[in-house]
Chain A
Amino acid sequence: DAGVIQSPRHEVTEMGQEVTLRCKPISGHNSLFWYRQTMMRGLELLIYFNNNVPIDDSGMPEDRFSAKMPNASFSTLKIQPSEPRDSAVYFCASSLGQGLGETQYFGPGTRLLVL
């Protein structure tokens, strides 16, 4: 299996621009998670989906962030407008089921730098 695929791997943009991060979960997985990792705050869960439905978005920082999962094989995380404090590594992860003991499989991450 190809694993979780994220694109782009690196993104450099200027403040105020729209940024779209993309994720393709492992085929057959029905849960998808978006995380943000920074030195200051560590690894934070932003939002997660079960069967393409957002379950918990309490970690989304503010209205500038939005996430969608139009189908089982694709999700996007959008930041509009972007700010320098959004600079971080954004990870997507997926899991096969929705149970507590399910392993989450992480993608390689998108390293975002907002100038």
Chain B
Amino acid sequence: AQSVTQLGSHVSVSEGALVLLRCNYSSSVPPYLFWYVQYPNQGLQLLLKYTTGATLVKGINGFEAEFKKSETSFHLTKPSAHMSDAAEYFCAVGAGGGNKLTFGTGTQLKVEL
């Protein structure tokens, strides 16, 4: 079985500051890792994903994440926060058989002026 832990249910940053959202996973087999974003009253939208190959993955809106097997982590970063980045972010893992994902509990990102 796999699981995901997102540290910090709420993160607040100033506009222009670095965004760092933490995600750690547990999986007995090589995982596939995802970050999704949810804006208010909308469904989830894929930001980026790691399947195989390069461990630094770039996504939409300037976000990127690095898969670190030794640390079982897949933290999401963005060099400079924008007001429009305010949303809830979900980390998810897929592993083993089947194509279902296990989602973390989400991190609400607030961007302040």
Contact = CB atoms under 8 A, between A and B. Distances in A.
Contact of B101 (A45, A91, A99, A108): A45
Contacts of B46: 103-105
Contacts of A33: 100
Interface stretch (A13-21, A48-56, A66-74, A75-83): A48-56
B90 A43 contact: yes
B95 to A, nearest CB: 7
Interface string B14-45: 00000000000000000010101000011111
A31 B43 contact: no
A55 to B, nearest CB: 6
B63 to A, nearest CB: 15
Contacts of B3: none
A109 interface: yes
> Which of A42, A56, A100, A109 is packed against the most chain B CB atoms within 10 Å?
A100
B44 A102 contact: no
Contacts of B95: 100
B49 interface: yes
A101 B32 contact: yes
B51 interface: yes
B97 to A, nearest CB: 9
A95 B99 contact: yes
A101 B51 CA distance: 6
Interface string B70-113: 00000000000000000000100011001111111110000000
A45 B2 CA distance: 14
Given A43-B44, A91-B43, A100-B98, 7 more contacts: A42-B105, A45-B103, A48-B99, A95-B99, A104-B44, A106-B44, A108-B42
Q: Give the top 9 A-B pairs by smallest Cβ distance, nearest first.
A: A106-B43, A101-B51, A106-B44, A43-B103, A100-B94, A42-B105, A100-B32, A101-B32, A98-B99
